[in-house]
């Protein structure tokens, strides 16, 4: 005798989740369908619950290789709760599988507006950038659909979720992201993009330069000067915390990167972290004792400490 199915939306969703975890995607999809029908029969307005059910059913379609229905269900989920993370990621994966790379890029980019540390979206952007450069050429950005601006309310909704709900999404492929070794072709593309960023810095276009450095780092994140150059742009744009992060990454790759030490010292000074600023200046002067700008910065920081 078959086990009795739950008679509540919550129970059907839980049963569907269990079937999905067991790899029974068709069964899970049927349970989510039943839950959706019950929700509609009940006539109660619960857009969040309905959105989750569509998103979960989309995951089943994706696992079964049914990308078209996956996209339809993600569209339904996002119509109910715009800028939800999971349906955006699932739709991006489906677009990518269908080789609709511009649409996949837009969804991955939208996810990163909500949370710029989601590993699967970072990897997706990396893959889409390569594919788009290969298929559309160096002006590929001009041929993309518009990328929606994520409202603050959507970012707050994501930030308010329990941490355990976010970790699996954020860390899904973090290890593979860190361990990828760039090919010789990747290194050359990274170098060209970095040089393009440098030219934009000379013209005073620091925002566009950051975009070029971002692209360069997608191809190879092993070049210390790319991080320290991007840090300069952040400093000019008064993005001091971002400058500190980039300088720290640069120094992990090259502990004697004098520009990274100097720029991090500048950023720490702006953030009023004078002790950290002095520590970086001291490290710099051990490498280049006669560095004039560093000596001047040390005087300025010492004045702040008096």
DSSP 22-35: TT-HHHHHHHHHHH
Ramachandran assignment for 99, one of left (phi > 0), alpha (psi -120 to 50 degrees), beta (any other):
left
pLDDT band at 221 (very low <50, low <70, confident <90, very high): confident
pLDDT at position 175 is 38
Q: How far apart are CA 151 and CA 113, in angstroms?
A: 9
pLDDT at position 177 is 41
Q: What integer is the mean pLDDT of 10-32?
A: 92
b/e 273-288 (16+ beta carbons within 10 angstroms → b): bbebbbebbebbbeee
Give the residue from 91, 66, 64, 63 showing the smallest Cα distance to 77: 91
Q: How far apart are CA 281 and CA 265, in angstroms?
A: 6
Give the residue from 83, 61, 82 showing the smallest Cα distance to 70: 61
pLDDT at position 179 is 43
Answer whether residue 170 shows pLDDT above 80.
no
pLDDT at position 167 is 52
- Please give the residue that has the higher pLDDT: either 283 or 166: 283
Q: How far apart are CA 97 and CA 90, in angstroms?
A: 11
Answer whether residue 29 shows pLDDT above 90.
yes
Q: What integer is the mean pLDDT of 194-202?
A: 94
Alpha-carbon Rg for the chain, nearest whole angstrom, is 24
For the ranges 156-165, 187-196, 241-250, 287-296, the lowest mean pLDDT is seen at 156-165
pLDDT at position 245 is 94
- Please give the residue that has the higher pLDDT: either 45 or 203: 203
Answer whether residue 33 shows pLDDT above 60.
yes
Q: What integer is the mean pLDDT of 142-164?
A: 79
Answer whether residue 138 shows pLDDT above 50.
yes
Cα within 13 Å of Cα(45), Cβ side: 2
Q: How far apart are CA 104 and CA 97, in angstroms?
A: 9
Instruction: For residue 246, give every residue at least 6 positions away whose Cβ sits within 8 Å of its Cβ, in sequence order, or none.
Output: 227, 228, 230, 231, 234, 260
pLDDT band at 126 (very low <50, low <70, confident <90, very high): confident
């Amino acid at each position: 005798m078959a086990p009795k199915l739950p008679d509540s939306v919550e129970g059907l969703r839980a049963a569907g989740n269990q079937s999905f975890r067991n790899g029974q995607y068709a069964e899970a999809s049927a349970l989510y369908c039943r839950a959706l029908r019950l929700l509609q029969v009940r006539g109660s307005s619960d857009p969040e619950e309905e959105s989750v059910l569509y998103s979960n059913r989309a995951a089943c379609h994706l696992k079964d290789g049914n990308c078209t229905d996956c996209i339809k269900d993600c569209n339904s989920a996002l119509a109910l709760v715009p800028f939800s993370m999971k349906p955006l990621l699932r739709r991006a994966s489906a677009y990518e599988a269908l080789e609709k790379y511009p649409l996949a890029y837009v969804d991955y980019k939208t996810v990163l507006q909500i949370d710029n540390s989601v590993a699967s979206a970072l990897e997706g952007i990396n893959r889409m950038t390569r594919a788009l450069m290969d298929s559309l050429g160096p002006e590929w950005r001009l041929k993309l659909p518009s990328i929606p601006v994520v409202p603050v309310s959507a970012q707050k909704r994501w930030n308010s979720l329990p941490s355990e709900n976010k970790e699996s999404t954020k860390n899904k492929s973090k290890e593979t992201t860190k361990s990828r070794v760039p090919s010789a072709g990747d290194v050359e593309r990274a170098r060209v993009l970095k040089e393009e960023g440098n030219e934009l810095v000379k013209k005073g276009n620091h925002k566009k330069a950051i975009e070029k450095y971002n692209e360069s780092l997608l191809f190879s994140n092993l070049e210390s000067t790319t991080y320290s150059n991007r840090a300069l742009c952040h400093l000019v744009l008064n993005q001091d915390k971002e400058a500190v992060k980039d300088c720290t990454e640069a120094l992990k790759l090259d502990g004697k990167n004098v520009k990274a030490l100097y720029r991090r010292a500048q950023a720490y000074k702006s953030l009023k972290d004078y002790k950290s600023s002095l520590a970086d200046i001291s490290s710099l002067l051990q490498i280049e004792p006669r560095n004039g700008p560093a000596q001047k910065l040390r005087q300025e920081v010492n004045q702040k400490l008096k």
